[in-house]
Structure 1
Amino acid sequence: MRLKLFAFALFLLPPLVAGAQQSKLYRWVDADGVVHYGDKVPAEYSELPKQVVNDHGVAVEQLAGKKTEEEIEADRVAAELEMQKELQRRADQTLMVTYQTVDEIEMHRDRRVELFQAQSRVTELYLSNQRRALDMMQREASRFKPYNADPNAPMVDPDLVKAINETKSTIARHEDNLLNYRAEERQIIARFEGDINRFKVLKGID
């Protein structure tokens, strides 16, 4: 029985070895338009597009060559456009699920705008108080050196100078905050205006 199995294994061995040794046949065209065939592609042609062909010379596989800078840029632009389309699709879907009417969008917009307007009003009131306090401290400091040119004037209290500088910094910081609140309010209005226009397009509203 073992002898028969051994003989059968020897019978199968040659085709298996032959199959393992069989290599692919490539076809490619060089820069001069000359067609080449070979089981290996020389290094100078490795970046060219090529085909794997069968025994009848029929292409069974396409192998892309190295892409040019123009092709790489075209792929990048195409991928970016596809991403933008997908983002727009998701935004449209969210818009349609979130709102049923234009009035709902406007109500949501007005609530968001009111939040920033409220922050602006609080900041404006705080700034008014800080500016009034700064004015009082500066008038007090004006009686002392170095804010007073009178050579007989006493030196200003360092704590008063510190308070003036801190108040100036606080005012500058809150002035920046106020500018940011107003900028964000404008951005919110513009964003919702875009949402309203897009919603009308999707709903077919004139």
Structure 2
Amino acid sequence: MKTHYSLVLLAFVWSTAVYSGLYRWVDEHGKVHYGDRIPPAYAQNGHVKLYKSGLTKEKVESAAARKERIEKAARDIEIQKKLKEEQHEADLQEMRDTQLRSMFSSLEELEMVYQSKLEMADGGIAILQARHKKLSESLEKLEARHERMLNPNDKNLLGMKIDDILDNLHIYQQAITDNQIERTKIEERFKKDLLRYTQLTGEEKKSASDN
């Protein structure tokens, strides 16, 4: 009876050892291993979880494969983002091209309109610069008077007027700078529109002659 019990216990332990081999992994030499637990040295190399029947339950990728998958997913997202941005830019360009064609009937008209805008910008800047210069000249005279004054009250009143002129000079200078920046933007738009319109009309003429 004791011997029978030992055989049953041995069979139970053996079957447990067999069916607890729920993992399959491959070592660095390509040899396949089975076991109820994975050695720490191979824990990050990828393995397969098995059912007791030996069929595959789950494939666990290696740390390197997981890293590569994550990096690839990130690259794919970046590529999709770039493609969307390129498509958005293409749509904007098409819209700008349509507007450009509808606004100007010829290259000469485009040049005339932009030259008019640049002349208006130059005129506005010239007016501001003239006013700034006139105020600067007035400031020099007032500062000279302020130096010669002896009466404290008069000197104080004139000092207040000088401060007002300095404030106005600052305002004019800022306005001049803003207008110069705006003029530069107009000139840049002019160059871009001129080049694009030439390309568009050149394509139209070419397609028309081909037909």
TM-score normalised to structure 2 length: 0.59
Which residue type is aligned with residue 126 of structure 1?
A: R
**What is the CA–CA distance in structure 2 between the aligned matches of 1:163 and 1:92, rounded to whole Å?**
53
After the TM superposition, which residues 37-186 of structure 1 pair with which residues of structure 2 at under 5 Å, given as runs? 68-144=73-149, 153-155=150-152, 157-186=155-184
- Identify the residue that residue 16 of structure 1 maps to in structure 2: none
- Identify the residue that residue 199 of structure 1 maps to in structure 2: 197
**Identity fraction in percent:** 18
TM-score normalised to structure 1 length: 0.60
**What is the CA–CA distance in structure 2 between the aligned matches of 1:124 and 1:33, rounded to whole Å?**
79
Q: How much has 1:128 moved relative to structure 2? A: 2.0
Which residue type is aligned with residue 104 of structure 2?
A: Y
**Backbone CA RMSD of aligned residues:** 3.0
Q: How much has 1:69 moved relative to structure 2? A: 2.4
Deviates more, 1:169-178 or 1:81-90: 169-178
Cα shift readout 1:72-131 (whole Å, capped 9, x = no counterpart): 222221111111000001001111111121100001101111221121121122112211
| Structure 1 unaligned blocks of 5 or more | 1-30, 35-41, 46-64, 145-152
Larger Rg: 2
Q: Report which of the two has the higher share of helix.
A: 2
| Structure 2 unaligned blocks of 5 or more | 1-44, 49-57, 62-69, 206-211
